[in-house]
Amino acid sequence: MRNCARKITPNLAAICRHRAPNVRVEILEEIDSTNSLAATIPVPAGESPRNPVAIFANRQTAGRGRAGRKWASGGFGNIYASFVFFPTIRAGEIANWTLWQGASICEMLNKKYGVPAKIKWPNDLFLGGKKLAGMLTDVLADAGHVRKIVFGVGLNVFCEEENFPEEIRSVATSLAAHNNGEPLPDLDIVAADLLECIVAAAEAFFAGKYRERLAELWARYDLLRDKVVTAIYGNEKFSGVAIGVDSGGSLKIRLRDGNIRAFSAGDATLAKE
């Protein structure tokens, strides 16, 4: 219970000024959805600076997941954030964005906190068989170019599993639950680490310098690799063995008949053992 009282403080803005000085940081006590607020930020006009914006909240009351699903907030002690970028890339180049960010976050969490986080295609992070984080990307594009990316992340940090809402208690976890008794830094530091990671990954992505690294990280942190999964695409279900992702970020599954099929959208679940 004590850990759930930890919160993001105004000190985070000062930390981020040293870590990523070009990012504007906003810190809120409570909001319906950080992605919804981020969606209202206009694209800079003309030669205006196109600096990223980061919005952090201590609590969300109406967080969103993929396909309009609700993101259940576990109360204080977690990170609810949205990161806004204003790139100048073609719409066709955005396909791997969420996978690249997720793999980069896994790498950061493994290196900085020693926790074996994995990424589950297409947008969840898992730890110890339970959900650690969710990601949601919203894109504004026109004339074939991406004008704005809103990248939302909900990361469970301190909240103990018994303090999650009852409907997700059996499937959710936090960093603190898997840190081998080692104390985590203040939530401000974890948030700053997350921001620094996401901004660096974004810069590499926009520069087109991420593909080889993504292949390396995906091989290392892919939760589904070589496991039996069921892919749900529309009203159909396909079962087989996950064999990674292709260059466009689609999940590849070797079906029971031996054929390989790539899924660019939908959901994939692990077969129950």
For every residue of 208-264, which 3-state class applies, written as one string? CCCHHHHHHHHHHHECCCCCEEEEEECCEEEEEEEEEECCCCCEEEEECCCCEEEEC
CA gap 102, 97 in Å, rounded: 9
Q: What is the phi/psi pair of residue 159, to 5°?
A: -60, 125
For 111-145, what is each residue's pLDDT tens digit? 999 999 999 999 999 999 999 999 999 999 998 99
For 60-83, what is each residue's pLDDT tens digit? 887 555 545 555 555 568 999 999
Element (H, E) at 35: helix 34-39
Residues of the chain with confidence (pLDDT) below 70: 1-5, 63-76, 161-167, 169, 180-181, 272-273
For helices 211-221 and 97-113, give the axis angle rounded to 10 degrees: 60
